[in-house]
C-alpha cells in the first residue's frame, strides 16, 4: 500500500486534518530523499479508568493511522502499560495484560471497518523493552539533563495533576521521549495536548546522543457535550459496543444549538469522523447524507458547506442528529459483528474492564435484649464474632476495637441495663 502514490501525495495524506507538524523537513527527507517508508509510532495508555473503555473518539486517531498506512508508512502502536501505571496509578497493574489484548481487538476491528489493511501495523507492549538494562540506563542519563521544572511542564497537559504528585509523573514525559529511540521511529503521532512532551523530546534527546524526530499532532475533538471527549463521562462519548437504542438516546440528548457551530460536538464528529471515514470506506470522495422530510436528501462532501448551511438554519439540529445516528450505526455495525463472533473478545471485555461491584447495604437488626426469644443466642454470637480483636486485662477489663460489644453486648448500654434489670423496682 502506498506504492502507487507519489511523494507529494503521500505527504499530503500524512498531513490531512492535522493541526500541527513539528520538523516536517525530517518527513520530507525520509520520503523524498531516502525514498523509504516513514516509521511512526502512536502510544495508547492502558491505565485509563476501569469505566473508560475505548469509545467512538478513537475513530479520530484511527482515521489518521489509516492515512499513515495508506501512505505506505510502518506504524508501531505502543500499548503503554508502564506509562499508564506511572500516570498516578490510574489502573491496577493486574488489568494491564487484559487491556493490552482488548486494545488489539478494538484497534484491529476499527481499521478493518475502515477497509484499511493492517499488514504494516505493529503492536508493541511497553514493558517488553522498557524494563531492559539499556532503556533503564538511558532513563538515568536523560533524567540527569532534564530539570524537574521542565519535566513537570512537559507533562502538565497529559499527566494527571494532583495536590501531592509522585515522582512517577516526572518519569512519564522522559519515557515517552525515549520511546522514539528505542522503537526506532522517524516520527511520533499524538494529540495536540502532547505538544509539550514532543517539544521536550526534540530538545533533550540530542543531549544524550540521539537524533531529533518529527511530530504530527491531531486537534482535540469535542465530545458530544461540547467539551473534551472523556471515557469516564458516559454522556460525552459513545462506546463502540453501545446498542442502537443507546446510541440514539445519547445523540438525541447531545446539545446542538441551532446556528451555532463552534463547540458543537455533533458537527465536530461529522468533520473529524464521519466524512473522512466515508472516504476511506468507499475509496472515493467523502459523503455525508442528510434525509429531508420533503424533497431530495442533502449530500455534503465537505464540512464547510455543512457548517454554512447550519449557520443559515438551512440544516437544523432535528435533521442533523438522525443523519449522524444513521452514519455512526453503519460505522459501528462491522465492529459489533466482529465482537459478537468472538467469544474470546467477549470474555476479555469482562476481564479488562470488570463491572463495578455494587455494595449491598447491611441490614441493621435491632437488638431486643436477651429476654427476647433468641436474644441470648444472638448476643452470644455477637460476642463470639468480636472475641478476636479484644484482649482481657489482668483487672478483668477488656481492650480492643470491639470492647464495648464484649463488655456491654451489641445493643450497647441500654441493652446491658435491660438484661441486668437495672432500674426496675424489686418484686
Q: What are the pLDDT tens digits along the chain (427 aa)?
A: 567 899 999 999 999 989 999 999 999 999 999 999 999 999 876 554 434 578 898 899 999 999 999 999 999 999 888 876 665 455 566 777 788 889 889 999 999 999 988 999 999 999 899 999 999 999 999 999 999 999 999 988 877 667 777 888 889 899 999 999 999 999 999 999 999 999 999 999 999 999 999 999 999 888 877 765 555 566 668 999 999 999 999 999 999 999 999 989 999 999 999 999 999 999 889 999 999 988 899 999 999 999 999 999 999 999 999 999 999 999 999 999 999 999 999 999 998 888 776 666 666 666 555 555 655 555 445 444 444 454 544 333 445 655 444 443 445 444 443 443 434 444 3
Cell numbers of 376, please? 441470648
Among 349, 140, 328, CA closest to 243: 328
Please enumerate in sequence order all residues whose Cβ is within 8 A of that of 260, keeping only pairs 6 or more positions apart, or say none: none
Confidence at residue 307, expressed as pLDDT on a 0 to 100 scale? 97
Q: What's the angle, vertex CA 116, arms to CA 114 and CA 120, rounded to 5?
A: 145
**Three-class secondary structure of residue 374 per DSSP:** coil
Rounded to two decimals, the pTM is 0.77
Q: Are 306 and 269 in contact (CB under 8 A)?
A: no
Report d(CA 399, CA 390) in Å as an integer. Answer: 5
Report d(CA 66, CA 54) in Å as an integer. Answer: 17
CA distances (Å), origin 418, targets 220, 414, 425: 68, 6, 13
**Three-class secondary structure of residue 336 per DSSP:** helix
Please enumerate in sequence order all residues whose Cβ is within 8 A of that of 411, keeping only pairs 6 or more positions apart, or say none: 367, 368, 369, 379, 418
Write the secondary structure of 289-331 as one string of H (helix), E (strand) and C (coil): EECCCCCCCEEECCHHHHHHHHHCCCCCHHHHHHHHHHHHHHH
Confidence at residue 370, expressed as pLDDT on a 0 to 100 scale? 53
Q: Are 276 and 17 in contact (CB under 8 A)?
A: yes
Please enumerate in sequence order all residues whose Cβ is within 8 A of that of 70, keeping only pairs 6 or more positions apart, or say none: 1, 2, 5, 13, 116, 280
Q: Are 104 and 344 in contact (CB under 8 A)?
A: no
Cell numbers of 157, please? 497537559
Confidence at residue 2, expressed as pLDDT on a 0 to 100 scale? 66
Q: CB neighbours (10 Å) of residue 242?
A: 20
Q: CB neighbours (10 Å) of residue 249?
A: 14
Amino acid at each position: 500500500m502506498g506504492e502507487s502514490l507519489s511523494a507529494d501525495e503521500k505527504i499530503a495524506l500524512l498531513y490531512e486534518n492535522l493541526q500541527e507538524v513539528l520538523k516536517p523537513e525530517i518527513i520530507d527527507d525520509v520520503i523524498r530523499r531516502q525514498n523509504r517508508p516513514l516509521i511512526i509510532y502512536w502510544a495508547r495508555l492502558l491505565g485509563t479508568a476501569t469505566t473508560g473503555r475505548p469509545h467512538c473518539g478513537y475513530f479520530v486517531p484511527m482515521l489518521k493511522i489509516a492515512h499513515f498506512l495508506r501512505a505506505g508508512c510502518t506504524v508501531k502502536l505502543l500499548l503503554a502499560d508502564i506509562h499508564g501505571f506511572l500516570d498516578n496509578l490510574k489502573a491496577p497493574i493486574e488489568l494491564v495484560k487484559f487491556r493490552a489484548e482488548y486494545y488489539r481487538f478494538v484497534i484491529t476491528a476499527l481499521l478493518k471497518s475502515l477497509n484499511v489493511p493492517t499488514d504494516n501495523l505493529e503492536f508493541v507492549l511497553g514493558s517488553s523493552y522498557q524494563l531492559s538494562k539499556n532503556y533503564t540506563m538511558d532513563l538515568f542519563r536523560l533524567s540527569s539533563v532534564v530539570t524537574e521544572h521542565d519535566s513537570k511542564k512537559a507533562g502538565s497537559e497529559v499527566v494527571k495533576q494532583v495536590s501531592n504528585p509522585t515522582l512517577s509523573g516526572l518519569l512519564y514525559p522522559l519515557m515517552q521521549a525515549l520511546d522514539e529511540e528505542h522503537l526506532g521511529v522517524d516520527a511520533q503521532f499524538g494529540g495536540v495536548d502532547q505538544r509539550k512532551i514532543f517539544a521536550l523530546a526534540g530538545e533533550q534527546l540530542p543531549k544524550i546522543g540521539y537524533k531529533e524526530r518529527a511530530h504530527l499532532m491531531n486537534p482535540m475533538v469535542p465530545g458530544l457535550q461540547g467539551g473534551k471527549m472523556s471515557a469516564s463521562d458516559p454522556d460525552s462519548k459513545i462506546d463502540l459496543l453501545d446498542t442502537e437504542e443507546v446510541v440514539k438516546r445519547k445523540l438525541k440528548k447531545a446539545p446542538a444549538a441551532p446556528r451555532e457551530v463552534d463547540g458543537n460536538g455533533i458537527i465536530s464528529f461529522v468533520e473529524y469522523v464521519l466524512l473522512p471515514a466515508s472516504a476511506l470506506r468507499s475509496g472515493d470522495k467523502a459523503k455525508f447524507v442528510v434525509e429531508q422530510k420533503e424533497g431530495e436528501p442533502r449530500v455534503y462532501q465537505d464540512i464547510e458547506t455543512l457548517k454554512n448551511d447550519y449557520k443559515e438554519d438551512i440544516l437544523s439540529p432535528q435533521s442533523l442528529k438522525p443523519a449522524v445516528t444513521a452514519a455512526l450505526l453503519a460505522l459501528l455495525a462491522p465492529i459489533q459483528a466482529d465482537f459478537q463472533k468472538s467469544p474470546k473478545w467477549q470474555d476479555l471485555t469482562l476481564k479488562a474492564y470488570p463491572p463495578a461491584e455494587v455494595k449491598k447495604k447491611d441490614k441493621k437488626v435491632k437488638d431486643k435484649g436477651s429476654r427476647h426469644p433468641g436474644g441470648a443466642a444472638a448476643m452470644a454470637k455477637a460476642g463470639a464474632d468480636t472475641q478476636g480483636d479484644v484482649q482481657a486485662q489482668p483487672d478483668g477489663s477488656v481492650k480492643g476495637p470491639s470492647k464495648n460489644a464484649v463488655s456491654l453486648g451489641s445493643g450497647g448500654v441500654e441493652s446491658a441495663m435491660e438484661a441486668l434489670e437495672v432500674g426496675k423496682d424489686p418484686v
